[in-house]
Amino acid sequence: MFGNWLKTSLLMAAIVALFGAVGMLIGGGAGMVVALLLGGAVNLWAYWFSDAMVLRMYNAREVDETSAPGFYQMIQELARVAGLPMPRVFLIDEAQPNAFATGRDPEHAAVAATTGILQGLSERELRGVMAHELAHVKHRDTLISTLSATIAGAISSLAQFGLFFGGGHHGERSVPPAVALLLLIIAPIAAMLIQFAISRSREFGADRGGAELSGDPRALAAALEKIDRYAKGVPLQTAELHPETAQMMIINPLSGGGVAHLFSTHPATEERIARLLAMAG
């Protein structure tokens, strides 16, 4: 767990350093501050309201002990073991098996699962999946992803600012338009790659946390193998229309193939399974 947090911290430091370098080169100190404020304002709004927005996007319906007693009680028990407040619980009427957690902190968390995952997994496997999602809540991964998105968005804004104005300046040194164009192309891509690396790092952490919480690494490994297999053949239309939400899911829900590892929001499922089986001894 410490190694995973260290990796995430280093990745966060890298994206901050990239932001600082691009800001000073293109916009100087003032341009860097303006872009950070704009990016921060957008992402602060997203941090407070993105959970409701995403749940509405997926037409998620809230359930309780009456409407989904078994599933609700499973979450209730896992939350108690994890020492977390009881999150809101949602179901999504989709055939693809998948699940995600959202909310700005453990006190305002929500977990959602598709009806397909309830039908396709055994009780042990489903318990492992929902433990994984509660591990995301416990680790405050939403906060980490929001911070990385804030800085990545500011980097993109700075690059566009530099191109629009033909290159910024820092003191007496001008930035040629050709350099600004190069930064417009390279800097946002670099920031995106770091974002994706942070997302992959947090998935490994949630796998470990979920396995420890459920006490059943093999069940989570089996669940990941099943979900990955089904997700490749059963589309999740909302995710296809809003691919930015893909990183929230326990398994990448998008149907596109041949994506390079660096451009993936999730680690290779085989590697995740191997790590879980190693935990199981």
Name which residue leads in pLDDT, 115 or 176: 115
| Across 85-102, average pLDDT | 96
List the catalytic residue out of 133, 203, 225, 244.
133
Instruction: Name the pLDDT band for 260 (thresholds 50, 70, 90).
Output: very low
Name which residue leads in pLDDT, 136 or 44: 136
Name which residue leads in pLDDT, 173 or 281: 281
Q: How do residues 31-71 score in pLDDT, each as one tens digit?
A: 667 666 766 676 677 778 878 888 999 999 999 999 999 99
Name which residue leads in pLDDT, 278 or 37: 278
Q: Which pLDDT score, from 0 to 100, does residue 172 have?
A: 46
pLDDT for residue 264 is more than 50: yes
Q: How do residues 190-218 score in pLDDT, each as one tens digit?
A: 777 877 777 788 899 999 999 999 999 99
The contacts of residue 223 (CB under 8 Å, 6+ apart) are 121, 125, 126, 128, 129
pLDDT for residue 261 is more than 60: no
Residue 111 phi/psi, 5-degree rounding, is: -120, 145
Q: How do residues 8-37 score in pLDDT, each as one tens digit?
A: 566 666 766 666 666 666 666 776 676 667
* Cα 196 to Cα 112: distance, rounded to the nearest angstrom: 22
Query: Among this protein's residues, is 203 annotated catalytic?
Result: no
pLDDT for residue 259 is more than 50: no
Instruction: Name the pLDDT band for 77 (thresholds 50, 70, 90).
Output: very high
Pairing assessment for the beta strands 88-92 and 110-114 based on DSSP bridges: parallel
Q: How do residues 236-249 score in pLDDT, each as one tens digit?
A: 989 888 887 888 89
E strand segments, the chain: 61-63, 88-92, 99-102, 110-114, 169-170, 173-174
Q: How do residues 139-172 score in pLDDT, each as one tens digit?
A: 988 777 666 666 666 677 667 666 665 555 544 4
DSSP track, 34-93:
HHHHHHHHHHHHHHHHHHHHHHHHTT-EEE-TTTSHHHHHHHHHHHHHHT-PPPEEEEE-
